[in-house]
Amino acid sequence: MKYISICLVSLLFLVAPSTWAQYDYQEREREPGHYNQNKFKQLYEEFSTPNTYRSASGAPGPDYYQQRADYVMDIELDDRNAKIFGEETITYTNNSPDDLEYLWLQVDQNVRTKDTKSALRNETRIAQAERVESFVKKYVSEPFDGGFNIEFVKDADGKALPYTINQTMMRIDLPKSLKSKEQITFSIKWNYNIVDHIVDRSRSGYEYFPEDGNRAYVIAQFFPRMAVYSDVEGWQNHQFWGNGEFALPFGDYEVNITVPADHVLDATGTLQNRKEVFSREMLKRYDQAKKSYDKPVLIVTQEEAVAAEQGFSEKKKTWKFKAKNVRDYGFATSRKFIWDMQAVKIGSKDVMAVSLYPKEGNPLWEEYSTKAVAHTLRSYSDHTFDYPYPKAVSVHAKNQGMEYPMICWNYGRPKKDGTYSDRVKFGMISVIIHEVGHNFFPMIVNSDERQWGWMDEGLDTFMQYMAEQEFGEKYPEAIAGHAQYPSRRGEPEKIVPYMAGDQSTLAPIMSNPENVYQLGPNAYGKPATALNILRETVMGRELFDHAFKTYAQRWKFKHPTPEDFFRTMEDASAVDLDWYWRGWFYTTDYVDIGVKEIKKYFVNDEPTKEMREYMAQNNIAESDLLPQVFLAEEDSEDFDPDLKGKTASTNSKFLKEFMMDKLSAEERAEVKEPKYFYEITFDKPGGIPMPLIVEYTYADGTTENITYPAEIWRKNDAEVSRVIASEKELIGVVVDPKLETADIDMTNNSWPKKEEKSDFQKFKDNIKGK
């Protein structure tokens, strides 16, 4: 059905003097420099200029390159003394066009030297009450000495190479420059004391179990690792202070790890000597697990693990692994470990989903860990690319949530009596999804974590949200009592308290992780929510999913930058998103859109007083005008109340004539005739422009939903008006009725105003009350 209102509006504007059109943006436009504030201006000033390494489309350019570092390592664990010894041979390939006079390596364990500056970088204050352990660590005990002891650095001929250590970075000076396209091989021997990661709250170390005297080790950042050299940073040699994670090149790893013979161990890569380290029973179970697609098979049972806890073998076993095209290496080892596995079909390949946990993780871990691993591999593969590695291992480690290629550490421990709360259960499933998910971002789509925490944490948390929701749908029994999986992050309203918070403690997403005030919401929650809103509300699933997949596929096994992501999302969708990146990623603005005012008009038989005055001033006779349809506000003295609620053509003789003269009988039958005309003004106290999502409710109870694109704010960032012409009376207007936009203040979202306080207002009042 055509709406005749289209003709009405255009007729009016044909002759309406510009003063009648209420566009105060015209005033603002004249302010000097105003356009520079325009939120729809393209991000040319913020983005780096595209070049032959990185294309304007967001894809790798024709000259894109990346360095490569292959490792051969022999590692030995001294379980008695919690010490680790290693010797590595690195073959480094310079694919850059530059000659390199020196190489930079990351020696992350130096964050735990006795004189580490990391401990001095934060302000400290007296706490009037403190947990004993933390008090002792701070004021009583000697600082732990966990830095690297470098025994030697030698070239391929065994000649010592000079090196300099600057905190967590080691520079190796080369006798002659490593030319473009050349390779160099060198070796490093090292050892360090392994820290108790529960006490130290570190990403790697051991947990000590006083009941049986054993340790469970989760070992990472344990060897000097090549830093990234790239077209955007040169050497990425920012110090490891503790928050900003890692930037690492890809390579192949050959790693032999020697541990006590009664340990159970898993690591990045494919085990090469299974027959040497597995018992005959374990080999038999492993063959079953490879064919078990629906549930895990135990390789080491709880009874066997508990029996092993009682001993301490003085014999050794060497576990040999090879890993292709990974950016890092991690392993977990203990005699306490239970071990289960199952197969997962990913594309045409079988991947092993694996879990390693002490009895302290049960009964939670035997039930959910491997299930969550398998689900994550399927869900993430669907949204990006088929998981390319042969396995994914989830290791139970108290308080941990940390990721490495093919292996990760995860928290979630039941109480001693084996009971657990919903919080512990969902926390565990969520952290497993998250850390296994990190295989995709940043282990394969290998962004620079040290500089851009959100590129891996934000994208991964967004993917985690989708995988959690799918988990809830797939395993309804696992979420019994909940309508959907209770995701902690991802839903728009969950980010509201953060975005509405004190501006002096907020930083844009585009910030270095060391410098933000609240890393969780900044690098995880907000970008995840921004992407979720982009998918559900701004772009729609089809366009978003295609563009997101394009980004993942363009940059898998490569090093993307934020611009590569931003550009690809636009390039693959034809949606201009510069305004969205600007608002959500480059500012600390928030979303707040409201309905400010509604004026009701009817078609009148006379011009308004205001219009008559204007015509008099400008010597315009009524007869000079084209036939006009006059509208007057309901409450004004201009309006003849007898005409109220009648159709437009009843009230206007000109319109009636027009319709009789110009429209054929068929056309007349087609048109609807509105009776009510509303001018609705929306205001935007929040800095971020968003689509204006409006639900109109009419007197007969029907509703109409209209989403005006975000571009509606492009000429007036403060307020905009829209006209609704209707046969029915309008009785309600709600902005963002389904809470899709993370609008921080819902008290201004409704007309008539709702008396009830919004959840957010209640939350704010609550905080003030405390």
Residues lying near Zn ion in the complex (CB under 5 A)? 457
> What are the CA-CA distances from residue 48 to residues 45, 232, 564, 567 (Å)?
8, 9, 10, 11
Give the nearest distance from C-beta 77 to Zn ion in angstroms.
26
> What are the CA-CA distances from residue 267 to residues 39, 321, 323, 364, 404 (Å)?
48, 8, 9, 22, 9
- Cβ closer to Zn ion: 207 or 449? 449
Residue-by-residue DSSP string for 385-426 = ----SSEEEEEE-TT-EEEETTEEEE-----TTS---HHHHH
Whose CA is closest to 351, among 436, 470, 468, 280?
Answer: 436
Give the nearest distance from C-beta 589 to Zn ion in angstroms.
25
Give the nearest distance from C-beta 757 to Zn ion in angstroms.
35
- Cβ closer to Zn ion: 457 or 740? 457
Residue-by-residue DSSP string for 713-725 = GSS-SSEEEEEEE
- Cβ closer to Zn ion: 103 or 443? 443
Whose CA is closest to 731, among 697, 758, 770, 689?
Answer: 697
- Cβ closer to Zn ion: 447 or 748? 447
**Residues in CB range of 694: below 8 A, 6 or more apart:** 595, 680, 682, 705, 706, 707, 708, 722, 733, 734, 735
Report how far residue 466's alpha carbon sits from residue 473's, in angstroms, rounded to the nearest whole number. Answer: 11
- Cβ closer to Zn ion: 340 or 457? 457
> Which three-class secondary structure state does DSSP give residue 770?
coil
Give the nearest distance from C-beta 328 to Zn ion in angstroms.
14
- Cβ closer to Zn ion: 409 or 471? 409
**Residues in CB range of 41: below 8 A, 6 or more apart:** 35, 578, 582
Give the nearest distance from C-beta 403 to Zn ion in angstroms.
6
Give the nearest distance from C-beta 725 to Zn ion in angstroms.
51
- Cβ closer to Zn ion: 245 or 719? 245
Whose CA is closest to 3, among 648, 651, 767, 718?
Answer: 648
Structure tokens at 698: 């009419």
Report how far residue 478's alpha carbon sits from residue 471's, in angstroms, rounded to the nearest whole number. Answer: 9
Structure tokens at 79: 């379980």
Give the nearest distance from C-beta 200 to Zn ion in angstroms.
19
- Cβ closer to Zn ion: 457 or 578? 457
Give the nearest distance from C-beta 524 to Zn ion in angstroms.
7
Give the nearest distance from C-beta 453 to Zn ion in angstroms.
9
Structure tokens at 264: 């159970």
Kindly report the backbone phi and psi dihedral angles of residue 181, in degrees, each rounded to the nearest multiple of 5, phi listed first: 75, 5
- Cβ closer to Zn ion: 457 or 570? 457
- Cβ closer to Zn ion: 39 or 438? 438
3-state secondary structure 609-678: HHHHHHHHHCCCCHHHCCCCCEEEECCCCCCCHHHCCCCHHHHCHHHHHHHHHHCCHHHHHHCECCCEEE
- Cβ closer to Zn ion: 304 or 457? 457
Report how far residue 168's alpha carbon sits from residue 116's, in angstroms, rounded to the nearest whole number. Answer: 9
Report, in angstroms and rounded to the nearest whole number, the Rg of the chain calculated over CA atoms. 33
Give the nearest distance from C-beta 742 to Zn ion in angstroms.
21
> What are the CA-CA distances from residue 289 to residues 194, 297, 351, 378 (Å)?
33, 5, 11, 18
Give the nearest distance from C-beta 84 to Zn ion in angstroms.
25
Give the nearest distance from C-beta 456 to Zn ion in angstroms.
7
- Cβ closer to Zn ion: 431 or 496? 431
- Cβ closer to Zn ion: 207 or 457? 457
Give the nearest distance from C-beta 434 to Zn ion in angstroms.
6
Report how far residue 301's alpha carbon sits from residue 348's, in angstroms, rounded to the nearest whole number. Answer: 30
- Cβ closer to Zn ion: 172 or 528? 528
> Which three-class secondary structure state does DSSP give residue 63?
coil
> What are the CA-CA distances from residue 301 to residues 281, 304, 306, 565 (Å)?
11, 5, 9, 45
- Cβ closer to Zn ion: 457 or 564? 457
- Cβ closer to Zn ion: 414 or 560? 560
Give the nearest distance from C-beta 758 to Zn ion in angstroms.
31
Report how far residue 354's alpha carbon sits from residue 131's, in angstroms, rounded to the nearest whole number. Answer: 36
Strands (E), 204-250: 205-209, 214-219, 225-226, 229-230, 234-235
Give the nearest distance from C-beta 525 to Zn ion in angstroms.
12
Give the nearest distance from C-beta 219 to Zn ion in angstroms.
19
Strands (E), 180-226: 183-193, 205-209, 214-219, 225-226
Report how far residue 299's alpha carbon sits from residue 285's, in angstroms, rounded to the nearest whole number. Answer: 6
For residue 350, the one-letter residue type is D
765 in the Ramachandran plot: left (φ > 0), alpha (ψ -120 to 50) or beta? alpha
Please give the DSSP secondary-structure letter assigned to residue 445.
B
Give the nearest distance from C-beta 235 to Zn ion in angstroms.
25
Closest residue to Zn ion: CB criterion: 457
- Cβ closer to Zn ion: 457 or 592? 457
**Residues in CB range of 37: below 8 A, 6 or more apart:** 717
For residue 452, the one-letter residue type is W
Beta bridge partners of 708: 692
Report how far residue 103's alpha carbon sits from residue 228's, in angstroms, rounded to the nearest whole number. Answer: 10
